[in-house]
Amino acid sequence: MLALKSSEFRKEREASWKELDQLLELARQQGIASLSTADLRHLPLLYRAALSSLSVARAIALDRALLAYLEDLCLHAFLTIYARPLAVGAAIREFLARSWPRAVRFMRAHVFLALSALLLGAISGYLLVYADEGWYSVIIPAGLAGGRGPASTREELLAILFTKAQPGAFLLAFANILFSNNTLVSLLAFGLGILGGIPTLLLTFGNGLMVGAILALHAHRGLGLEITGWLMIHGVTELGAIVLFAAAGLKLGEVVLFPGQRSRADALAADGMAIGDVAVGGVLMLLVAAVLEGVFRQTIANTDGRLAVAFATLVFWTVYFTLAGRRKQP
């Protein structure tokens, strides 16, 4: 009379649960690649059987330990099968070849907005300082001026533009990323996007102002081309990174302010991937810029070479962001 359905059910299926359990443990300890072909073929079958056991148990069993065990077993199996370890190399390739350029194109409106803010800042800075060098010290804080200012002579500026490389510059170049003003501006532009985008645009504009001011100071002394080469050999990439961070920040602000029909967390989850990809790409660009600044600028000590590299990076990034990853995934 006391034939417990749930007990019989458990006796009948327990062996297959244990088998799944062992496979999962093996996969956890030695990686899923260590399973034999037969085991691999068996795993999804056992997983589906466990899921069906779980459904049945939820319907008929009142044994809490049994239910908890099955919940856990199914979740572990689900994670083993669906949240598989990723090959780092393949992930990097996928990111460079598809995700990043696609994410940048996805928010091209934001990129153009950020770029406009930067250019507008640069033009304003240039015009202001070109007309009256008194603006220079207003725009550029003393800490960032690097000894250059309205009082500098042409010779002093030239000396800075063509300094000799120091030994060990390569690693130091990377190291300096962390302490560079542009990294701070990038991260702030991104982070402050959450405040609706206005601080992001202001920061980008302000950064443009500084670039324009430096250009104007040198242009006054007949060093326009020289400073362009000195700045832009890495500046194209570095300012590009700032623009990307700012665009990601603007998108972030847009999602937070106008999530539409979705909850904010859902809206962020949907667009967050693209935002994250663009920001991660920005970090890569900062690294590239550091190499260009720390190594190439020191070794290429002439303006023509620097301008050529600057132009090449400009063409490269433009082509890359407009064309890469357009093909449909096979």
Cβ-based nearer residue to other proteins, 34 or 55: 55
Cβ-based nearer residue to other proteins, 149 or 276: 276
| Shortest reach from residue 120's CB to other proteins, in Å | 26
Could you tell me how many residues make up the chain? 330
- How is residue 97 annotated by DSSP? I
What is the C-alpha to C-alpha distance for residues 254 and 214, in angstroms, rounded to an integer?
33
Cβ-based nearer residue to other proteins, 56 or 123: 56
| Shortest reach from residue 25's CB to other proteins, in Å | 9
Q: Chain-centre distance of CA 64, in angstroms?
A: 45
Triad 122, 125, 292: Cα angle to 5°: 45
Helix or strand run (H / E) with residue 200: helix 198-220
Cβ-based nearer residue to other proteins, 7 or 181: 7
| Shortest reach from residue 219's CB to other proteins, in Å | 32
Cβ-based nearer residue to other proteins, 95 or 320: 95
What is the C-alpha to C-alpha distance for residues 239 and 294, in angstroms, rounded to an integer?
16
| Shortest reach from residue 103's CB to other proteins, in Å | 8
| Shortest reach from residue 66's CB to other proteins, in Å | 7
Q: Chain-centre distance of CA 316, in angstroms?
A: 19
With CA atoms as reference, report the closest residue to 317 among 123, 104, 147: 104
With CA atoms as reference, report the closest residue to 180 among 229, 228, 188: 188
| Shortest reach from residue 233's CB to other proteins, in Å | 21
Tell me if 134 sits within 8 A of 203, measured CB to CB.
no
Helices 64-82, 5-30: axis angle to 10 degrees equals 30
Cβ-based nearer residue to other proteins, 287 or 308: 287
Q: Which residues bind other proteins (CB under 8 A)?
A: 2-7, 10, 14, 17-18, 47-48, 51-52, 54-55, 60-66, 68-69, 71-72, 74-76, 78-80, 82-86, 88, 91-92, 94-95, 99, 168, 171-172, 174-179, 187, 190-191, 252, 265, 268-270, 272-273, 275-277, 279-280, 283
